[in-house]
Structure 1
Amino acid sequence: MTEREPARDPEQRKQDALDRLERDEDAWVATASHDGVPCLVPLSFVWHGHTLLLATRRTNPTAVNLTPAGQVRITLGHTRDVVLLEGTAEAVEGADLPADSGDAFAGKLHWDVRGHPAWVYLRVTPYTVRAWREVNEQTGRDLMLDGTWLV
Structure 2
Amino acid sequence: MTTTEPARSREQRKQDVLERLAKDDDLWVATASADGEPCLVPLSFVWDRETLLMCTRRTNPTARNLTPAGQVRVTLGHTRDVVLIEGTAEPVEGTDLAPESADAFAAKLNGWDPRNRKPWVYLRITPRAVKAWREENELAERELMRDGDWLV
Q: TM-score range by the shorter chain?
A: over 0.9
- Distance in 1 (CA, whole Å) between partners of 2:113 and 2:2 is 44
Is 1:77 the equivalent of 2:77? yes
Q: Which residue of 1 aligns with 2:128?
A: 127
**Counterparts in 2 of 1:51-130, with a 5 A limit?**
51-110=51-110, 111-130=112-131
Q: Which residue of 1 aligns with 2:16?
A: 16
- Distance in 2 (CA, whole Å) between partners of 1:85 and 1:114 is 25
- Unpaired runs of 5+ residues, structure 2, are none
CA displacement, residues 44-78 of structure 1 (integer Å, 9 cap, x when unaligned): 00001110000000000000000110000000000
Contact 1:4 1:134 in 2 (8 A): no
Q: Which moved more, 1:64-73 or 1:103-112?
A: 103-112
Q: Which moved more, 1:119-128 or 1:109-118?
A: 109-118
- Unpaired runs of 5+ residues, structure 1, are none
CA displacement, residues 9-63 of structure 1 (integer Å, 9 cap, x when unaligned): 0100000000000000000000000010000000000001110000000000000
- Distance in 2 (CA, whole Å) between partners of 1:82 and 1:5 is 16
Q: What is the TM-score normalised by the length of structure 2?
A: 0.98
Q: Which residue of 2 aligns with 1:145?
A: 146
Q: Which residue of 2 aligns with 1:47?
A: 47
Contact 1:31 1:66 in 2 (8 A): yes
Partner of 2:77, secondary structure, is strand
Q: What is the TM-score normalised by the length of structure 1?
A: 0.99
Identity of paired residues, percent?
71
Contact 1:22 1:46 in 2 (8 A): yes
Partner of 2:105, secondary structure, is helix
1:5 is displaced (CA, Å) by: 1.2
- Distance in 1 (CA, whole Å) between partners of 2:17 and 2:50 is 13
- Distance in 2 (CA, whole Å) between partners of 1:4 and 1:131 is 18
- 1:23 alignment partner AA: K
RMSD (Å), alpha carbons? 0.5
- Consecutive aligned runs of 4 or more in structure 1 exceeding 4 Å deviation: none
The total of aligned residue pairs comes to: 151
Partner of 1:83, secondary structure, is strand
CA displacement, residues 88-130 of structure 1 (integer Å, 9 cap, x when unaligned): 0001000000001101101111221111100000000000000
